[in-house]
C-alpha cells in the first residue's frame, strides 16, 4: 500500500464547500456548523441541494444526481479549498458512479472531510484520485457542533497539521505490539459493502486499518468481519485501530467478537481509539504512513496529514 498525495492545509479566509452526499440534513444543525466554520475565519459555501430530501426515499438528501452534482461542482470550483460533508447516514455509495473522476482529478488535490457513510468516498478518492482524506466530524454533525475536542482536533488538523502528528487516543491494546503502515478504513459495514467495487481498494495489505461502526448487532459485525476475512481483504494488514461502537450491543460482547475475528491476524490491535460515532471524535487521516503503538494507544504520522 502506497502513501497518497497530501492536499494543502487550510489558511484563514479559505473557502470550504459543504455538501450532503448521503442523508438529509437538519437546517438548524447546518446553520450551527456554518457558524463554527465562520468562527474559524473560513468562508463556507453550501451546495444548492444540501437541504433537499428525496421524494420517495426519505433517508436520502435529494436525488443521486443532485447529490453527485453538488460534490462534483464543489470539488471542481477553483475557489474552493476543501469539501466538508454535512452528515453521513446512507447514500454516498449510490452516487459514486455518477461522478466524473477525470474532472475531479483535473481539479487537483483538495481536502475531503467526513466519516460514517462517507467511507465510500474515502475509498473512491483513494482508489481513483490517490488522495489523502480526513475521517473526521461533519459540518452538521452533533459532535462537531457541541464537542470542543472534536472541533479542536479537526481544526488543528486542517490549519496546523504538524501539531497533531501524534494522535493519542487513550485507547488500550487488544493485541499488543507496534506496526508501521499506511492508514485506511472507516465504517465497517461500508467497507464490507464495497468489496468488489471498482471504486475501492482491493485489500488492506500494508495498511493500518481503522474500523468503527454504529447501531449494529454483534452478529452483523461478525458477518462483516467474516466477509472481509473470507475475501482475503485483510491479508497482509499491518495493524488495526478500533474506534467507537456506539448503539451496538454491550461492549463486552463486541470486544469478544473483535478479538475472535481479528486476534488471529497476528498484528497489533488497539481498541477504543476515539474516532467515529462517539463524543469528541478524533480526526484520522487516511492514506498517510504512520506507526501504531498499541501499548501506548498512539498513532504517529510520518508526516503531517496535510502539506
Given 123, 194, 212, 272, which residue is catalytic?
Answer: 212
Nearest to 144 by CA among 122, 123, 116: 116
Number of other CB atoms surrounding residue 60 within 10 Å: 24
Three cell numbers, residue 90: 446512507
Is 153 a residue of the active site?
no
Cβ neighbors of 297 (< 8 A, separation 6 or more) are 168, 169, 170, 171, 172, 173, 270, 273
Phi and psi dihedrals of 126, rounded to 5? -70, -50
Q: Are 201 and 134 in contact (CB under 8 A)?
A: no
Given 116, 122, 123, 216, which residue is catalytic?
Answer: 116
Given 49, 122, 153, 277, which residue is catalytic?
Answer: 277
Cβ neighbors of 9 (< 8 A, separation 6 or more) are 158, 159, 160, 161, 304, 306, 307
Length of the chain: 307
Is 197 a residue of the active site?
no
Is 277 a residue of the active site?
yes
Known catalytic residues are: 116, 212, 277
Amino acid at each position: 500500500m502506497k502513501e497518497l498525495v497530501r492536499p494543502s492545509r487550510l489558511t484563514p479566509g479559505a473557502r470550504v464547500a459543504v455538501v450532503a452526499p448521503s442523508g438529509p440534513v437538519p437546517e438548524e444543525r447546518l446553520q450551527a456548523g456554518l457558524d463554527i466554520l465562520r468562527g474559524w475565519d473560513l468562508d463556507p459555501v453550501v451546495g444548492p441541494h444540501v437541504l433537499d430530501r428525496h421524494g420517495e426515499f426519505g433517508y436520502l438528501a435529494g436525488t443521486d444526481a443532485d447529490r453527485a452534482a453538488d460534490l462534483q461542482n464543489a470539488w471542481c470550483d477553483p475557489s474552493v479549498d476543501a469539501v466538508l460533508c454535512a452528515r453521513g447516514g446512507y447514500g454516498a455509495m449510490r452516487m459514486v458512479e455518477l461522478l466524473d473522476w477525470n474532472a475531479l482529478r483535473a481539479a487537483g488535490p483538495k481536502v475531503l472531510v467526513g466519516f460514517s457513510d462517507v467511507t465510500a468516498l474515502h475509498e473512491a478518492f483513494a482508489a481513483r484520485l490517490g488522495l489523502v482524506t480526513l475521517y473526521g466530524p461533519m459540518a452538521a454533525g452533533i459532535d462537531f457542533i457541541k464537542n470542543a475536542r472534536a472541533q479542536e482536533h479537526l481544526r488543528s488538523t486542517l490549519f496546523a497539521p504538524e501539531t497533531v502528528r501524534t494522535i493519542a487516543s487513550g485507547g488500550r491494546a487488544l493485541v499488543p505490539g507496534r506496526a508501521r503502515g499506511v492508514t485506511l478504513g472507516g465504517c465497517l459495514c461500508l467497507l464490507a459493502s464495497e468489496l468488489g467495487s471498482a471504486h475501492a481498494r482491493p485489500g488492506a495489505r500494508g495498511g493500518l486499518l481503522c474500523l468503527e461502526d454504529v447501531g449494529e448487532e454483534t452478529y452483523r459485525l461478525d458477518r462483516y468481519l467474516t466477509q472481509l476475512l473470507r475475501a482475503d481483504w485483510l491479508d497482509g494488514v499491518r495493524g488495526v485501530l478500533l474506534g467507537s461502537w456506539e448503539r451496538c450491543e454491550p461492549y463486552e460482547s463486541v470486544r469478544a467478537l473483535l478479538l475472535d475475528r481479528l486476534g488471529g491476524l497476528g498484528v497489533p490491535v488497539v481498541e477504543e481509539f476515539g474516532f467515529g460515532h462517539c463524543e469528541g471524535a478524533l480526526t484520522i487521516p487516511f492514506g498517510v504512513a504512520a506507526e501504531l503503538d498499541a501499548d501506548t494507544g498512539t498513532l504517529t504520522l510520518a508526516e503531517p496529514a496535510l502539506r
